[in-house]
């Protein structure tokens, strides 16, 4: 496991069009993308005191969040993920869940988790028990990913962000989601260094690093 740099910027539609052209010229498309993009659905966890949300909004230096995620409406591969942030660096841990496991968690059936044999599932269980973590909200969006091998750089353009309101049945294709606005998010992630050719390609005069959170935006509605 390795900590990575991760920065987020809210950009305009014109910025996205310009960046799409620039990045296509110097970076490769993700092999998992379909027509250059893919759909992401996540189920985020929080407790009754909104610990994860509050720590994000307050910029707490040491924080973590749990989510379950799948891509392109394909529920045959589902990930439980824990994202940690320490001193501005990010670490993501992940384990595969079966569809039945994911549905059980969404339904509030947690008794099996300590016997799963998977440390990350067991850790989530201890925080469900000890901190009161529960499935909180669905976050949907479309993502255009770009990859640069040197520095293990990954740049994404995220848009069409939608929230499931209070629905947590995230495997249900009929779960209603609503748009959260017109925000477009540029995410820039890398390991030890960001190559100059990529750094130059993402320069925008109107863009500033921000503390944007798709989860936080989706929580506006509940």
Phi then psi dihedrals of residue 149, to 5 deg: -65, -50
Q: Cα separation of 33 and 61, whole Å?
A: 33
Task: Indicate the pairing of strand 28-29 with strand 4-11.
Answer: unpaired
Mark residue 14 as left, alpha or beta (left: phi above 0; alpha: psi -120 to 50; beta: remaining): alpha
Q: Cα separation of 2 and 86, whole Å?
A: 12
Reference 193, options 150, 146, 138; nearest CA is: 150
Task: Indicate the pairing of strand 28-29 with strand 134-148.
Answer: antiparallel
What's the pLDDT at 173? 86
Cβ 22 vs Cβ 127: under 8 Å: no
pLDDT tens digits, residue range 62-112?
999 999 999 999 999 999 999 999 988 999 999 999 999 999 999 999 999
Model pTM score? 0.93
Cβ 214 vs Cβ 51: under 8 Å: no
| CATH architecture designation of domain 4-221 | Alpha-Beta Barrel (3.20)
What's the pLDDT at 210? 66
Q: Cα separation of 28 and 51, whole Å?
A: 37
DSSP the chain: ---EEEEEEEE-HHHHHHHHHHHHHHSEEPTT-BTTBEEEEEEEEE-TT-HHHHHHHTT-SEEEEEEEEEETTEEEEEEEEEEEEETTEEEEEEEEE-HHHHHHHHTT--TTGGGS--HHHHHHHHHHHHT--EEEEEEEEEEEEEEETGGGEEEEEEEEEEE-TT---TT-TT---EE--S-EEEEEEESS---HHHHHHT--TT---B---HHHHHGGG-
* Domain range summary for the chain, segments of one domain joined by +: 4-221
Please list the ranges in the chain whose pLDDT falls under 50: none
């Amino acid at each position: 496991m390795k900590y990575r740099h991760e920065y987020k910027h809210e950009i305009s539609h014109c910025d996205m069009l310009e960046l799409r052209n620039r990045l296509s010229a110097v970076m490769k498309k993700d092999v998992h993308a379909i027509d250059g993009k893919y759909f992401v659905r996540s189920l985020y966890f929080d407790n009754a005191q909104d610990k994860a949300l509050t720590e994000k909004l307050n910029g707490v230096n040491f924080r973590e969040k749990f989510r379950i995620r799948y891509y392109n409406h394909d529920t045959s591969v589902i990930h439980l993920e824990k994202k940690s942030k320490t001193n501005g660096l990010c670490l993501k841990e992940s384990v595969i869940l079966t569809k039945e496991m994911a549905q059980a968690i969404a339904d509030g059936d947690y008794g099996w988790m300590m016997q799963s044999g998977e440390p990350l599932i067991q850790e989530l269980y201890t925080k469900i028990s000890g901190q009161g973590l529960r499935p909180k909200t669905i976050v949907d969006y479309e993502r255009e990913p770009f990859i640069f091998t040197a520095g293990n750089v990954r740049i994404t353009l995220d848009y069409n962000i939608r929230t499931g309101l209070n629905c947590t049945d995230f495997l249900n294709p009929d779960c209603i989601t609503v748009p959260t606005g017109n925000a477009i998010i540029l995410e820039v992630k890398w390991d030890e260094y960001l190559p100059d050719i990529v750094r130059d390609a993402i320069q925008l005069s109107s863009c500033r690093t921000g503390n944007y959170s798709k989860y936080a935006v989706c929580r506006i509605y509940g």
